[in-house]
Chain A
Amino acid sequence: MTIQPTITTPNQMLWQMLRKGGWWYVINLATIVFVLLIELLPGFINRAVLNDLQGNSLTSIPWLLLGALVGITAMRMMLFVLLTYTNPKTRIASENAMRRSLLGRIFQQPAVAALKGSPGEIVSRFRDDIGELPHTVLHLNDIIALSLFAVVAFYTMYQIAPSATLVIMLPLVFIVAAARFTYDRIYVYRQERRRATGRVVGFIAETFGAIQAVQVAGTERHVLRHFAELNKVREVATLREVLFDGLLSSLFRNAVDIGIAVMMLMLHQQAIGGEFRAGDVAFFVYSLGAISELLGELGVFIGRQQQLRVSVQRLETIGHGLPAAKLFDEKPFPAFKELPPLQTLAIRDLSVHWKNDQYGVRNISLDLAPGRLVVVTGVVGAGKTTLLRGILGMLPRVTGDISWNNSRIDDPDLQLVPPAVAYTSQVPRLFSDTVEDNITQGRQLSNVELDAAIHGAVFEYDVAQFEHGVATLVGSRGVRLSGGQIQRAAFARMLYERPQVWLIDDVSSALDIVTEQLLWQRFGEIRSQVACLIVTHRPQVMAMADEIIVLKDGQVQARGSYADLIARGQLTH
């Protein structure tokens, strides 16, 4: 596995998170610094008491100093409470901004190619990578504060025993320098661990998204075995990272113990000279304890810097190359660009490609106008759905023009959307809300409009049967409804939009003949002012059509009216 470059450097990322934390960050930093500087005081007091005891200048318990210690403790505890509050506040500001912007970014991609991975896997990036990044900033504060502590402690130690202090520091400097060589490894381990976690999470989502299929296929055993394998990979990757991190941090911490041993060896010479003072030894050990903590944290922090690169890279991937640093500039979602009342919608020489050419459509032209109905039909894999998605900008358009009243559509993503155009996909998804929320999608019109949409979709009979009517929860992905009910709910959802153009992809496939006929009959009554492009194999719809386009291998094989195509033997019915 190689190191993949990121657009955003770790430092830029840190800076952005720090900026986003704002005053919470500043208060957090100030508090930690203050806490640690106060923490030095007990070291000084202990040293004074011990040295005075050794020099026989202390004759009773030093109540005043002990009282001072009590005061210091009380103060530290209060500052800690402040820390527990500023900590999440600093973090949350960045987390929210990143999650919001990233979702916005994904929403702005051509919808079909928007997800770089399974939804579950992407959720793991939203959850884990974004969840962990802001901790780096808080960690930075720890390092800054500990460093200040170390500087003061070091200065004091140098005053007490210059040569011993310098010698103690030597192994420390050496180890910090050596740690640089571990960066790549930290990075790679982290990346592998994340990847393995993503696969586990993605697999859980898919399995339970398809749980009925899994149960019906009776394949639980095999699915579980696959799950266990993914778990194992994650376990191995995690353990390797843990071991390496442990090794690193124990190296750092060990450096201090070596320092203490060196101090013992050097101070014994001072002892022989009669200058040895117990308080100084206590102070050295006290300070070195904190310096040890600093080094340990520094090791972790260096590791985090590498891990941060992994997270940044993972976020930039699913964000389609948006620099992670830009996730902090929150912009409202771009507004819909209004279009004038439709006269003509002309599609000229449109070519749309999937990754491999076979799946594209080539040089398709067609015209829509209010009241005009065009049907697209053709064999499986002919490119019918691709054509619809291409028009809507859900797949990248390669060549061709789309014009609305003779003016070119440059940004279908913001123009060919409701209220101008509404679309129903071939396999519509409902969300785990009520029937009503699924139809209205947060746009509250009147109940009359809602009932009209439900009636238009021949859904009123079903809704009346539901336990709570339109307030019935449909379950995850609409699982509480039958296939035909899902399609009609989605159809109602589209009718509710009242746009100028309808694009409909094979919406009646799960309906029985009677319901289907009624659906198209009602549709015929309400479509008079609307332009329609419908993918279907149904003769009934084709008979209503002004034009039928037969696609084969992505190209127009035949076009004409229903009677015409039947006569030419271009339709199999």
Chain B
Amino acid sequence: MTQRVAFQQYRDLLYTYFWPQRRQVAVLVVLILLDNGLQLLGPNLLGQFVDSAINSDDSSLLQRLGVYYLVVMICRQVARLFATYMGETIGWRASNALRFDLAQHTMALDMSYHKQQNPGIMIERIDGDVTSLNRFFSQMVLQIGGSVLLLVSTVGVLFAQNWQLGVMMLAFIVVAATILYLLRNVAVPYWEGGREASAQLFGFLEERLAGMEDIRGLGSRGHTMARFDQLMKRKNHFDVLGRVYGGVTWIVPVGLAAVLSILILGIGTHLYLTNQIGIGLIVMTLLYGEMVVWPIRTIAQEIDQLQQATAGIVRVAEIMAIKSRLVDGTHQMPAQAPSVVFDNITFAYPDEEADKHPVLRNVSFTIPPQKVVGLLGRTGSGKSTLIRLLFRLYDVNAGEIRFDQHPIREFTLASLRQHVGLVTQDVQLFYATVRDNLTFFNKDISDDRLYDALRTLGLQRWLEQQPEGLDTLLMANGAVSAGEAQLIALARVYLKQPHVVILDEASARIDPETEKLVERALDTVLAGKTAIIIAHRLQTVRRCDYIAILGDGQLVEYGAEAALRSDEHSRYATLLRTGSVEEELA
């Protein structure tokens, strides 16, 4: 279950996300050095104070030591505060960069990946896992570095005062560090399980919240609550185990600290009784002992965090290792409406068994430039799949799709998708403003163009009803009727001005009256474009120049619309007459 994270993985991560911030990191290192130095000075001053108080009557020296101490400590707090701030800044920049990279990477993955996810799980993958890495970025590395430094200097100072005490401290640190190193992976499996359980729980929750209306309509609220309960219990289980096993890494240092102070007291007493050191040095060493506990505890706590982070790294690496099945092309699509050629294509979805029927078999037909083809066929006959292939959401298994003479694999995905526009039946709206919903967050589109698009699609009146116009926040679920959503989707394509337009049941949820309006708008949208229209309503299909009919993954009929209509034996003509349901299904 636990993959060991190679040192190299940490290193790569650090290099990628810290190198751009090397200046800030340098400042942070200086601040940490300063903090350490000042921290070491404190007990030293106190030790001197004790010895001076016992051995001399120089009152002004004692007073001076008090004032020094005060100044040192205030400076130290300031250094510390800036170090914290700096560490967090670096950490947040790094983790946000990672969030961005993850989002970019996953967004580019093909649908065979996304089919298996739900939005809640993506929240955990892109935000949750990275948040657990946040401390790794912001503090861990620097804290561990700073702590090691502090330990080394402590040993150095002690050696300068008395070699026996120095040896003792060094031996202690080596033993403690070894023990902590051995314990570092104890809780990882539980943290990892916990993160997975958490992703399941919140993924479930997101999906059910989004489907509230259905759950309510089906009366399955009780059932949903019970499933929610089960998932919570699973998370709880890992929470407890993770905490208990994770606890080892801070309980052990507490024990080690106590052992150290016992050692100091014992050895210190012996050295004093044999007249090798003064009481001031024992006090100082005891204080150092207290101080050494902190970095060791820090290291231990960071190891505790490191375990959580490791779980995060494993999951991040997992995602980053998933490669899109699609190889990006290199060419830009030419800026003109091309002919669309389906040349003998065969396709089966990647996760389906090989011996099953392919969804599409040996489909061939050509749409001349600027012509409109109507694609017909029963549900499940492969129409939507054909469209997905055109966008390269998947690649064909055999055959080739070409725009003019260029196979679509040659184009960059970005350019391909920029020049092909799609309107589907189910329109995805964002919980964002009307503007962002129309432009998909593209800030280069002017408001005038938006007004123009809305006017063309007859959405003017609808816009007037929106309290804040283009800035009105659209609820993703509810306030926009399904028909209006389809008009918004048409407006999106109108704004995009692609060369190839695909309408997949784009007006299915629109009433006949509004549809007339849309038909007029389509004249504008489709002018000079090559287009594919999937529609079940025959009125919509009448505008097509050609008709293609798919049946069970194969092309069963293709020809000019007018010709097929007048040929009374054609399937198309039969469909136009309808009423032939039984015959069609036989």
Contact = CB atoms under 8 A, between A and B. Distances in A.
Contacts of A76: 254-255, 258
B232 A80 contact: no
A512 B377 contact: yes
A509 B481 CA distance: 14
Interface string A476-516: 11011011110010100110010000010010011111111
A509 B81 contact: no
Interface stretch (A214-222, A305-313, A343-351, A402-410): A214-222
A134 B425 CA distance: 45
Which applies to chain A's interface (DSSP): helix, strand, loop or mixed? helix
Interface string B240-258: 1001101100110011001
A215 B417 contact: yes
Contacts of B413: 218
B397 to A, nearest CB: 17
Which applies to chain B's interface (DSSP): helix, strand, loop or mixed? helix
Contacts of A573: 512
A446 interface: no
B96 A235 contact: yes
Contact of A509 (B117, B225, B279, B425): B425
Contacts of B250: 80
Contacts of B80: 250
Contacts of B487: 380
Contacts of B221: 107, 333
A267 to B, nearest CB: 7
B240 A85 contact: yes
Contacts of A285: 46, 283, 287
B441 A225 contact: yes
Nearest to B62: A268
A219 B425 contact: no
B40 interface: no
Nearest to B439: A222
Contacts of A99: 228, 232
B68 to A, nearest CB: 9
A317 interface: no
B384 A123 contact: no
Nearest to A236: B92
B120 interface: yes
B357 to A, nearest CB: 7
Interface in B215-245: 215-229, 232, 236, 239-240, 243-244
Contacts of B330: none
B152 interface: no
A73 B265 CA distance: 15
Contacts of B16: none
Interface stretch (A7-15, A147-155, A460-468, A559-567): A460-468
Contact of B223 (A118, A377, A394, A441): A441
Contact of B251 (A58, A80, A257, A258): A80
Interface stretch (A87-95, A321-329, A524-532): A87-95
B542 to A, nearest CB: 14
A512 B378 contact: yes
B269 A281 contact: no
Given A80-B251, A92-B239, A115 B207 contact: no
Nearest to B233: A96
Contact of B229 (A100, A214, A513): A100
Given A100-B232, A228-B100, A513-B575, A209 B119 contact: yes
A214 B378 contact: no
A84 B240 CA distance: 8
A247 B417 contact: no
Interface string B30-66: 0000000000000000100110011001010011011
26 contacts: A69-B261, A77-B254, A80-B250, A84-B243, A85-B244, A87-B243, A107-B216, A112-B477, A123-B209, A207-B122, A208-B117, A209-B428, A215-B393, A216-B393, A220-B104, A242-B84, A261-B73, A268-B59, A278-B50, A394-B216, A432-B207, A465-B356, A483-B426, A483-B505, A512-B377, A514-B581
Given A77-B254, A512-B377, 14 more contacts: A104-B225, A119-B209, A123-B202, A201-B123, A209-B428, A217-B492, A218-B417, A219-B440, A219-B442, A264-B49, A285-B287, A441-B220, A483-B424, A510-B379
10 A-B pairs with the lowest CB-CB distances in the bound complex, closest first: A218-B417, A484-B379, A84-B247, A380-B483, A210-B428, A423-B217, A476-B118, A442-B223, A429-B211, A418-B219
